[in-house]
Amino acid sequence: MMHHADGEVLGEFLVSARSLAEYRAMFHLSDDDLAGRRVLDCPGGAASFAAEASALGAEVTAIDPIYATPPTELAARATPETERAVAWAHSHADRYRWDWYGSTAEHAAIRRGAAARFADDVRAAPHRYLAGSLPSLPCPDDAFDLALSSHLLFSYADRLDADFHLAALLELARVATVETRVYPLLDYTGAPLDDLIDHLRTELHDKGIATSLQKTGYEFHHGADTMLTLRSAA
Ligand SMILES: C[S@@+](CC[C@H](N)C(=O)[O-])C[C@H]1O[C@@H](n2cnc3c(N)ncnc32)[C@H](O)[C@@H]1O
């Protein structure tokens, strides 16, 4: 296993632990987007979104290949993975804006809190966490109202190519009736991916899926203030 968290290349996919507050900000989520809605979080990672949004009345399914691991092992892995993610962000602090969090310490506290909430929920409500991988999800068409995808697409464009991105976006649109929201649109080094995004939007348009770029209320990587929204043309 590669662990390069202190260097310039991030090794294997981080299993990060964002909170509902971060999801709300990244994806412009309102209570109406959540209550009573069927929501997919893919990749779910060690985020506490599924736990917290379920408590607000959303019907959340999180999908991630790591959920093939038994819940007790997942729960045990959440804390060291969160420390790896926090260490990565703090050792590249100049790449990020810290104002949304207030400080690096507050960022670490939010991520540790989310990991702990995930660790409790994955043991208490394992039915919410489904093993699966983009671009082929184990779900029927229109299984969800809203699909959210944070920090896999675009983030890892160094190892996931344009064909993967297109297939993954089509798959999210297949399972989400109303809308798919994706954030961020930069890679994990903060590099913009305008050519990739233009290419994907053209391909999606040709397949009957309308896309738009919307400003978010959140910017962690400098310049990562935009989400991509997909809607199937009615
Ligand atoms: C950086 S985490 C993001 C987790 C969460 N969305 C968040 O923002 O905190 C990236 C996740 O992508 C998952 N992943 C890797 N390949 C995947 C694939 N093909 N399909 C779905 N998830 C994948 C990894 O297991 C990891 O948990």
Residue-wise pLDDT for 90-99, tens only, equals 999 999 999 9
The larger pLDDT score, comparing residue 213 to residue 14, is at 213
Using alpha carbons only, give the angle 144, 198, 174 rounded to the nearest 5 degrees: 20
In a domain, 198, yes or no: yes
CA of 39 to the centre of ligand 1 (A): 16
Cβ–ligand 1 distance for 180 under 6 Å, the answer: no
Residue 100: pLDDT above 60?
A: yes
Closest CA to 155 of 230, 205, 221: 221
Residue from 13, 27, 158 whose mutation best tests the ligand 1 pocket (most atoms within 8 A of CB)? 13
In DSSP notation, 142-157 reads: T-EEEEEEESSTTTTT
Share of the chain above pLDDT 70, in %: 94
pLDDT in tens, 160-193: 999 999 999 999 999 999 999 999 999 999 999 9
d(CA 190, CA 192): 6
Q: What is the crossing angle of helices 194-206 and 162-175, to 10°? A: 50
The verdict on residue 73 lying in a domain is: yes
Let me know if residue 119 belongs to a domain: yes
Instruction: Check if 129 has its Cβ closer than 6 Å to any atom of ligand 1.
Output: no
Residue 1 lies in a domain: no
Residues 45, 64: contact at Cβ < 8 Å? yes
Atom of ligand 1 nearest to the CA of 43: 22
Ligand 1 centroid from CA 175, angstroms: 17
Count the domains in the chain. Answer: 1
Indicate which residue's Cα is closest to atom 15 of ligand 1: 13
Judge whether 13 lies within some domain. Answer: no
Looking at residue 86, what is its pLDDT?
Answer: 94
For residue 200, tell me if it sits in a domain: yes
Whole-angstrom distance, CA of residue 173 vs CA of residue 141: 9
Q: What is the pLDDT of residue 232?
A: 82
Please tell me the predicted confidence (pLDDT) of residue 12: 83
**Nearby residues of 24 by Cβ (< 8 Å), 6 or more positions away:** none
Tokens of 51: 């736990």
Q: For residue 183, how far is its CA from the centre of ligand 1 (angstroms)?
A: 12
Q: What DSSP state is assigned to residue 13?
A: P
Distance 134 CA to ligand 1 centre (A): 9
Q: How does residue 5 score in pLDDT terms, banded at 50, 70 and 90?
A: very low
In a domain, 175, yes or no: yes
pLDDT of residue 96: 93
What is the band of 119 on the pLDDT scale with cuts at 50, 70, 90?
very high
Domain harbouring 118, CATH code: 3.40.50.150
Mutate which of 14, 77, 133, 152 for ligand 1 pocket (most atoms within 8 A of beta carbon): 152
d(CA 23, CA 79): 19
Structural domain span for residue 142: 20-232
pLDDT mean across residues, the chain? 93
Taking each helix axis from N to C terminus, what angle separates 104-124 and 71-91, rounded to the nearest 10 degrees?
170
CB of 86 closer than 6 A to ligand 1? no
Q: Which of 67, 74, 111 lies closest to 89, judged by CA?
A: 111
